[in-house]
Amino acid sequence: MKATTNFSTQPDEPSFSPAEIEQGRLHAILSYILPGFFIIPIRRSRNAFARFHARQALTLWLAALAAAIALSVFLVFLTVLLMAVPISVTIGLLAFLVFLAAAGVAFIGARNAWHGSRDVLPGVGRFGETHMSLLVKD
C-alpha cells in the first residue's frame, strides 16, 4: 500500500461557525498586522478562529525573526572577521527582504482572517499547525 501525503492548505479540522468568525475576526487580523499581538488571542481568547490565526502569525513572525538573526550573525561574521563589506551589504539587504516577504505573507494571513478563511499561510502555515498547536491548545 502506497502512503499518500496531503498537500492541501486546509487542516483536517472542521470549519468555524459564522458567529465564531465574526467574534474573532479583529483579533485574528491584528495578530498578523501587529507582531506580538498574537499573544492576546493565544493567552486570553476562547475563540478558536482567533487562536488559529494567532498560531499562524506566531509561526510567521518566529520564522522571520530566526531568519533575520541567522542572516545578522552571518553579516557580523563577514564584516568583522573577513572585512567583506560588499558581501555584508548584500546580506543586510537579504535580511530586509526576509521582512518584506514576512510582511507579504502577513498580508495574506490578514486577508484570510478578514474573509473568515481557514487557509494556512504559504511556507510556514503547515509547520505552525503541526508544531505550534502542540504548544498552544484550543
* Per-residue model confidence (pLDDT) at position 87: 67
Does residue 28 fall inside a structural domain? yes
Does residue 8 fall inside a structural domain? no
Sign of CA dihedral 87, 93, 95, 97: negative
* Per-residue model confidence (pLDDT) at position 6: 41
Sign of CA dihedral 95, 97, 100, 101: negative
Does residue 70 fall inside a structural domain? yes
* Per-residue model confidence (pLDDT) at position 68: 83
Does residue 112 fall inside a structural domain? yes
Contact by Cβ (8 Å): 10, 119:
yes
Does residue 9 fall inside a structural domain? no
* Per-residue model confidence (pLDDT) at position 5: 40
* Per-residue model confidence (pLDDT) at position 11: 47
* Per-residue model confidence (pLDDT) at position 1: 45
Does residue 2 fall inside a structural domain? no
Contact by Cβ (8 Å): 20, 138:
no
| Average pLDDT, consecutive stretches of 10 residues, N- to C-terminus, the chain (138 residues) | 44 72 88 80 78 88 88 76 68 81 92 90 80 63
Residue 129's domain spans which residues? 18-135
How many folded domains does the chain comprise?
A: 1
* Per-residue model confidence (pLDDT) at position 134: 61
Does residue 80 fall inside a structural domain? yes
* Per-residue model confidence (pLDDT) at position 7: 39
List of long-range contacts for 17-22, beta carbons under 8 Å, 24+ apart: 18/116, 20/47, 20/48, 20/49, 21/49, 21/116
